[in-house]
Amino acid sequence: MSMQKKPQLVEAVMFFGDGIIQKAMFFAEFEAVLDGVVDMPEFADQQVRAAYVLINPRLLIRSAVFFYLDFDERGKADTGWNMPLRHLAEKAGRGPDLGAGPIRLACRSQCPVSWHQMHMWDPDLAPGHNELSLLRDAVKVNRLGMLVEEESPPVELERLQMAHEEKWHAPPDPEQEQARLQAEQEDQEQRLKTAQLIKQLRLRITSLTQQNDDEVAQLKLAAEQQSSELNARIQSLQHALQQQEELNLNLKADLSGHAANLSNVREEMTSQLKAAERHAQSATELLRGQFDKELQAKISAAVMDYKEQIAIREVELAYHKEREIHLQQDLERLQAEHEKLAGQGTDQILQRLAALGVVFVVYHPGAGHLTIPLQDIARYQDNPMAYVAAKCFVSEEQYSGWLEHYQQPGCVALLPSGERCGMPVDRVDTPSRFVPGESNCCARHRASKRA
């Protein structure tokens, strides 16, 4: 007798988002994500809701564990995440029937290991948005491409054996038997539907109770924090009020002392005022005499000061007049010398310089240092560019084009936009070897001109 093989269950992880299942993968791929081998950029900087499921060969869910997983800004899974998903799936309580009998369900409100409860979540079981049904349908679609076990074929008629005649019985009424079987089947289906509905309602009640407890705990914590803040503020206000009362008492005491002092000061000032009135007339006469004496002394000092300043200004004016006379004489002398030099003429000056051995040398690119004879000075002054071009045995136009190329060796051809090409070209160091349109153009524009 051959042993029947136990059907192999497949481990998978489903990721929820925006009311759908965004991604599904085998558990081996999920382990690669946890080890940092594979990143998930679509979940970058998010806390994702996920479910670990065990699927039988007929694409039916046997166990489900709902948990949270955090991803950093690069889509890498939290390195500190560590939940025993397989253990939680084995120890989980019973859940709704998703086609293969009641599943094992581990979630926030039904967690077999209490310290993992904070990292788990409850699926939404509301009609029209049942996330367990969403999970069941996603498995049925077989997005992971799992191998599906075919249904067992019916037994062939040739393999059926007939019982002995003494074991035969009178067949029951077919209609009654069919009605009984149909009633039993409907009753059984009704019982299963009722049990599944009760289980879903209990799970939803448990989930809502857990959410209510969490909200109550949060409200209680907020109330305690607000109460502690109000108590601290009341104590602070009471302390400030006590300090203000003490300050008011001190101010009242100081005010009483100041009032007494002011009364004494008023009496003393009254007596001083009366004494000042008695001596005011004599003091006024004495002050008037002193003021007249000081005023006369100040006037005399000011007159002396002004006389000294006038004398200094007169001396300075005489000095400026004398200097102006000297400058006028120097100006007249320089004008005479200028007229004398202008009468001699430029040619005489140049001849005198040449007789003294002065040589006229200039530098131009392409020609180098040129020594200009005395008879060529006028021609050089009239057109230096033409003079240098003749020394280089080229025309003035060719020398000008070469000089522009020498100073900035770039392609001068115009682009369709009207700008110069500007592509760097080889510099030609000698004006006689410069060919306009060839030496100052790049290879592309030289070719276009030849064409």
Residue pLDDT, tens place only, 307-344: 888 889 888 888 888 888 988 888 888 887 776 665 55
Quote the domain boundaries for residue 317.
299-344
Q: Is 32 exposed, middle or buried (0-12, 13-18, 19+ CB in 10 A)?
A: middle
Looking at the structure, tell me whether residues 79 and 140 fall in a common domain: yes
Looking at the structure, tell me whether residues 70 and 109 fall in a common domain: yes
Mean pLDDT over residues 89-102, rounded?
A: 87
Mean pLDDT over residues 399-425, rounded?
A: 86
Residue % of the chain over a pLDDT of 70? 85
The answer to the question of residue 44 being in a domain is yes
d(CA 118, CA 372): 101
- Checking if the pLDDT of 210 tops 90, the result is no
Looking at the structure, tell me whether residues 319 and 418 fall in a common domain: no
Domain count, the chain: 3
Looking at the structure, tell me whether residues 59 and 111 fall in a common domain: yes
Looking at the structure, tell me whether residues 382 and 308 fall in a common domain: no
Angle in degrees, CA 436, 442, 446, rounded to 5: 60
Looking at the structure, tell me whether residues 27 and 106 fall in a common domain: yes
169 pLDDT tier (thresholds 50, 70, 90): very low
In sequence order, the 6+-apart residues with CB closer than 8 A to the CB of 143 are 24
Mean pLDDT over residues 216-241, rounded?
A: 86
What is the pLDDT, as a whole number, of residue 226?
Answer: 86
What is the pLDDT, as a whole number, of residue 41?
Answer: 92
Helix pair angle (396-407, 384-391), 10° resolution: 90
What is the pLDDT, as a whole number, of residue 306?
Answer: 85
- Checking if the pLDDT of 157 tops 50, the result is no
Query: Which two three-digit tokens encode residue 232?
Result: 């601290």
197 pLDDT tier (thresholds 50, 70, 90): low
What is the pLDDT, as a whole number, of residue 286?
Answer: 83
d(CA 433, CA 449): 19
Pick from 202-216, 234-248, 359-373: least confident: 202-216
The per-residue pLDDT of the chain, averaged, comes to 82
The answer to the question of residue 205 being in a domain is no
Distances, alpha carbon 44 to alpha carbons 75, 77, 434, in Å: 4, 9, 65
What is the pLDDT, as a whole number, of residue 93?
Answer: 87
What is the pLDDT, as a whole number, of residue 7?
Answer: 55
Q: Is 97 exposed, middle or buried (0-12, 13-18, 19+ CB in 10 A)?
A: middle
Bigger pLDDT: 62 vs 305: 62
- Checking if the pLDDT of 297 tops 90, the result is no
Bigger pLDDT: 304 vs 177: 304
Mean pLDDT over residues 271-288, rounded?
A: 79
Pick from 104-113, 336-345, 379-388: least confident: 336-345
What is the pLDDT, as a whole number, of residue 128?
Answer: 79
- Checking if the pLDDT of 154 tops 90, the result is no
The answer to the question of residue 432 being in a domain is yes
d(CA 12, CA 64): 10
CB 123 within 8 A of CB 107: yes
Looking at the structure, tell me whether residues 79 and 135 fall in a common domain: yes
273 pLDDT tier (thresholds 50, 70, 90): confident
The answer to the question of residue 286 being in a domain is no
**Residue where a domain terminates, one of 283, 316, 344:** 344
81 pLDDT tier (thresholds 50, 70, 90): very high
**Residue where a domain terminates, one of 344, 376, 399:** 344
Looking at the structure, tell me whether residues 304 and 372 fall in a common domain: no
What is the pLDDT, as a whole number, of residue 2?
Answer: 38
Pick from 106-110, 149-153, 187-191, 250-254: least confident: 149-153
Mean pLDDT over residues 256-277, rounded?
A: 82
- Checking if the pLDDT of 86 tops 90, the result is yes
d(CA 195, CA 70): 36
Pick from 90-99, 201-210, 358-367, 410-419: least confident: 201-210
The answer to the question of residue 330 being in a domain is yes
In sequence order, the 6+-apart residues with CB closer than 8 A to the CB of 415 are 421
